[in-house]
Amino acid sequence: MAQNETGIRLAPEPRLAQFCIDVLLATGTDMATAEAASGAMMHGSVHGVDSHGVRLLDHYVGAFRGGRLNKSPDLKLERTRGGTAMLDADHGHGARATYAAIDHACQMAGECGIAAVGIRNSSHFGPAGAYTMAAANRGMLALTVCNSDSFVRLHDGASRFHGTNPISVALPSGEENPWLLDMATSAVPYNRVLLYRSLDQELPEGIASDHEGVDTTDPHAVEMLAPVGGAFGFKGAGLGGFAEILSAVMTGMRLSPDILPMGGPDMSSPREMGAFVMVLDPDAFAGAELVRAGMQRYLGLLRGSPAREGARVMAPGDREWDVARQRRAEGIPIDPDTVQAMRALADEYGLSVPF
Amino acid sequence: MAQNETGIRLAPEPRLAQFCIDVLLATGTDMATAEAASGAMMHGSVHGVDSHGVRLLDHYVGAFRGGRLNKSPDLKLERTRGGTAMLDADHGHGARATYAAIDHACQMAGECGIAAVGIRNSSHFGPAGAYTMAAANRGMLALTVCNSDSFVRLHDGASRFHGTNPISVALPSGEENPWLLDMATSAVPYNRVLLYRSLDQELPEGIASDHEGVDTTDPHAVEMLAPVGGAFGFKGAGLGGFAEILSAVMTGMRLSPDILPMGGPDMSSPREMGAFVMVLDPDAFAGAELVRAGMQRYLGLLRGSPAREGARVMAPGDREWDVARQRRAEGIPIDPDTVQAMRALADEYGLSVPF
């Protein structure tokens, strides 16, 4: 049982992925759901996006058991035009629906040059970058957004409004890994606040607010996050709105203030969430070769650009590839709560823990 | 000759628009160019985006005279697939090219549900919101980006890299005006810095840097802007990259560090800039009616959401509609430098000034 110098359990990637699949199948999901949900969680865990990694396994098991998530959804694609479709996810797992939407969008973009799929009746889809990366690995430029339950105040707002509404964009870079942007439209992830809380440290200014919407640096007082942008938070709030509009308004699904909280207590009602994917084929623009060459030149200039003292200029994704290299070599760290949850799941289903 | 209480000249909208057209025609441009360039400048001036308003008229005249801009461009559209096209702008004015790209994209999106046009051999296009608003007024959701000469440092970077690379998104809101986001991916517009400089006031922290890339609050020392996001500026830099990739990499045009400076001294070489427009037809998703109803509910919730003390929660565009109402009623303020430039142009071409 591997562990690192701080005593954190380390799980090899393939065993961890298989464990997630085995647990989900034991819960009663179909194989497509188990593979998609495991794939999305592993994207998070491999790349260091631990908030959207395998710590979600236990949560998802609860959502399948409670009936919030459909274990064997019957996904229905309605192609509305040459480049567009609506996908009804039948209240299945968000990863199952979003990988399927990316597949359809890639196929349609291969024909029309560009395509979009609006997803209906879906659920939490985890790390947005998992889906844009899947498209980039097929030579496409992709943009994926979703909304989520209210947790971010508006600019000049004093209550929770948008979710952390992520935006991810990826495209092939001509390198092993794509160019990959995956950002919440909040100033910080809530996990960052929880980290400061556990360390009892003051937060940076202007990133979170108390229950009255007043900025606070006390991590224990945080009741909502600020939109990204600080004094210019109307930009972050506008970007959160962009994700909200594509995900919820263009699909007719729930707005963030209307979405049931992820953590329950109701784990039986479907959350009726939307999401949205868009795919562009570089071959329908300057051409795949020229776009790859352009990305190479862009990334070369960017990484060679002068850095601040003691810092390094990185392209979106560069930090993630570094983490992935290390974790694939040394194993994926599993936090103590997740170790405990996985042990309970392994005991219940007669499986071996992956660490 | 109207002026407001501070002695600033005020121009009625129709007269100002006609003056811009007359000057451009007198410079020798074709009518399509004069109308497009005037339309984009008026979008800026009417909505309070004065950096991209009629103060640019004199600059554009110089670019037409110097040969940087083609007065009668022969725009060539190559439709690459059902939903995609490349538009060669023949080194014409960016507004001429981008309005044309929006027209084509709206038409293709009417067929395919979604469409994109990559623009080649274009130039400064002014306010990105002018074009998304033109699409929204035709019932479409649009996204427009462009890149520009380097002026924004990277996150942890110490030199100018991206331009202020704007992103605009608009869609019909079911109200008189669309939902309209139009944001630079820099922390602030450079004009804000110039304002602080003229007032000799300290800048807010973390929005601009000196010639070594070190943060400064001294407006006189500013040599580059920070990306939006403050301590999380990798988000702003990533969004700047998104605009850069669509505008320059997907079109095979110049990266920001390779673009000639807007202000010269070379006013004869074409700038070979790219830009990118994307249009989605709400009818190909949840349907125009449902999307309008969703926007109404979203905007109602947003504007009714609790505000911070003394503040008002606004949707993207709300500030602009307020300014437009006022300026349409009272006239558009023309700054003293622009008054002087317009007088010189009026004298030269035998026209009456519009204020």
Q: For residues A78 and A90, is the Cβ–Cβ distance under 8 A?
A: no
Mean pLDDT confidence for B286-306: 97
Q: What is the pLDDT of residue B194?
A: 85
Mean pLDDT confidence for A272-301: 98
Q: Which residues pair with B278 in a beta bridge?
A: B116, B143
A311-321 exposure pattern, b = at least 16 Cβ within 10 A, e = fewer: eebbbbbbebb
Does residue A25 sit in helix, strand or coil? helix
Contacts of residue A82 in chain B, CB cutoff 8 Å?
Answer: 82-83, 111-113
pLDDT per position as a tens digit, A233-258: 999 999 999 999 999 999 999 999 99
The dihedrals phi and psi of B11, each to the nearest 5 degrees, come to -115, 135
Of B82, B187, B239, the CB nearest to A232: B187
pLDDT per position as a tens digit, B33-52: 999 999 999 999 999 999 89
Mean pLDDT confidence for A296-320: 96
Of B83, B188, B287, the CB nearest to A112: B83
Looking at chain B, the whole-number percentage of residues with pLDDT higher than 90 is 92
- Which residues are CB-contacts of A7 (< 8 A; sequence separation ≥ 6)? none
Min Cα distance A207 → chain B (Å) is: 10
> Cβ–Cβ of A281/B84 closer than 8 Å?
yes
Q: For residues B355 and B11, is the Cβ–Cβ distance under 8 A?
A: yes
What tokens does A186 get? 């909040």
Q: Exposed, middle or buried by CB within 10 Å (0-12, 13-18, 19+), for B99?
A: buried
| CA distance readout (Å), A348 to A14, A19, A353 | 21, 13, 11
pLDDT per position as a tens digit, A183-230: 999 998 887 888 888 889 999 888 999 999 999 999 999 999 999 998
Of A231, A250, A284, the CB nearest to B204: A231
- Crossing angle for the helix pair A31-47 and A129-136, nearest 10 degrees? 100
Q: Is the pLDDT of residue A5 over 80?
A: no
Mean pLDDT confidence for A16-33: 98
Torsion of CA B245, B318, A209, A239, to 10 degrees: -20
Q: What is the pLDDT of residue A98?
A: 98
pLDDT per position as a tens digit, B51-101: 899 999 999 999 999 999 999 999 999 999 999 999 999 999 999 999 999
Q: For residues B133 and B109, is the Cβ–Cβ distance under 8 A?
A: no
Of A206, A282, A311, the CB nearest to B156: A311
pLDDT per position as a tens digit, A75-127: 999 999 999 999 999 999 999 999 999 999 999 999 999 999 999 999 999 99
Mean pLDDT confidence for B117-140: 97
Q: Tell me, what DSSP letter sits at residue A296?
A: H
Bridge-based pairing state of the strands B84-88 and B114-122 = parallel
Q: Which residues pair with A280 in a beta bridge?
A: A114, A141
Q: Give the residue from B81, B86, B39, B82 showing the smallest Cα distance to B60.
A: B39
- Which residues are CB-contacts of A258 (< 8 A; sequence separation ≥ 6)? none
Q: What is the pLDDT of residue A104?
A: 98
> Cβ–Cβ of A250/B291 closer than 8 Å?
yes
Give dist(CA A66, CA A31) in Å, integer: 19
Q: What is the pLDDT of residue B193?
A: 87
pLDDT per position as a tens digit, B142-165: 999 999 999 999 999 999 999 999
Q: For residues A111 and A128, is the Cβ–Cβ distance under 8 A?
A: no
Q: How many CB atoms lie within 10 A of CB A329?
A: 8
Contacts of residue B306 in chain A, CB cutoff 8 Å?
Answer: 157-159, 213
Mean pLDDT confidence for A337-348: 97
What tokens does B155 get? 């996150």
Calculate the average pLDDT of chain A.
96
> Cβ–Cβ of B239/A234 closer than 8 Å?
no
Calculate the average pLDDT of chain B.
96
Give dist(CA B133, CA B173) in Å, integer: 11
Q: Higher confidence at residue A38 or residue A1?
A: A38
Q: What is the pLDDT of residue A116?
A: 99
Mean pLDDT confidence for A156-179: 97
Does residue A218 sit in helix, strand or coil? coil
Q: How many CB atoms lie within 10 A of CB B193?
A: 17
Contacts of residue A159 in chain B, CB cutoff 8 Å?
Answer: 305-306
Q: Give the residue from B80, B78, B96 showing the smallest Cα distance to B88.
A: B78
Give dist(CA A105, CA A111) in Å, integer: 10
Give dist(CA A252, CA B294) in Å, integer: 7
* A261 preceded by a cis bond (ω within 30 of 0): no
Min Cα distance B19 → chain A (Å) is: 33
3-class SS string, chain B: CCECCCCCEEECHHHHHHHHHHHHHHHCCCHHHHHHHHHHHHHHHHHCCHHHCHHHHHHHHHHHHHCCCCCCCCCEEEEEECCEEEEECCCCCHHHHHHHHHHHHHHHHHHHCEEEEEEEEECCCCCCHHHHHHHHCCCCEEEEEECCCCCEECCCECCEEECCCCEEEEECCCCCCCEEEEECCECCCHHHHHHHHHHCCCCCCCCEECCCCCECCCHHHCCEECECCHHHHHHHHHHHHHHHHHHHHCCCCCCHHHCCCCCCCCCCCCCCEEEEEEEECHHHCCCHHHHHHHHHHHHHHHHCCCECCCCCCCCCCHHHHHHHHHHHHHCEEECHHHHHHHHHHHHHHCCCCCC
Q: Is the pLDDT of residue A31 over 80?
A: yes
Distance of CA B49 to the CA centre of its chain: 8
Q: Among positive and negative, which fits the CA dihedral B87, B114, B81, A179?
A: positive
Q: What is the pLDDT of residue B45?
A: 97
Contacts of residue A80 in chain B, CB cutoff 8 Å?
Answer: 113, 284-285
Residue written as token pair 């290390």: A326
Q: Which of A249, A251, A255 to mutate to test the interface with B (most CBs of B within 10 A)?
A: A249
Q: What is the pLDDT of residue A1?
A: 52
- A323's enclosing H/E stretch is helix A318-330
Q: Tell me, what DSSP letter sits at residue A248?
A: I
Q: Which residues pair with B307 in a beta bridge?
A: A157
Q: Is the pLDDT of residue B1 over 70?
A: no
pLDDT per position as a tens digit, B203-254: 988 899 999 999 999 999 999 999 999 888 999 999 999 999 999 999 999 9
Q: Which fold, B9-297+316-349?
A: Ribosomal Protein S8; Chain: A, domain 1 (3.30.1370)
* A282 preceded by a cis bond (ω within 30 of 0): no
Min Cα distance B232 → chain A (Å) is: 7
Q: What is the pLDDT of residue B6?
A: 74
pLDDT per position as a tens digit, A319-336: 999 999 999 999 999 999
Q: How confident is the model at residue B282 (pLDDT cuts 50, 70, 90)?
A: very high
Length of chain A: 355
Give dist(CA A222, CA A197) in Å, integer: 9
Q: For residues A334 and A9, is the Cβ–Cβ distance under 8 A?
A: yes
Give dist(CA A25, CA A300) in Å, integer: 44
Q: What is the pLDDT of residue B214?
A: 93
Residue written as token pair 């002087």: B340
Of B171, B207, B238, the CB nearest to A316: B238
This model of the complex carries an ipTM of 0.97
Length of chain B: 355
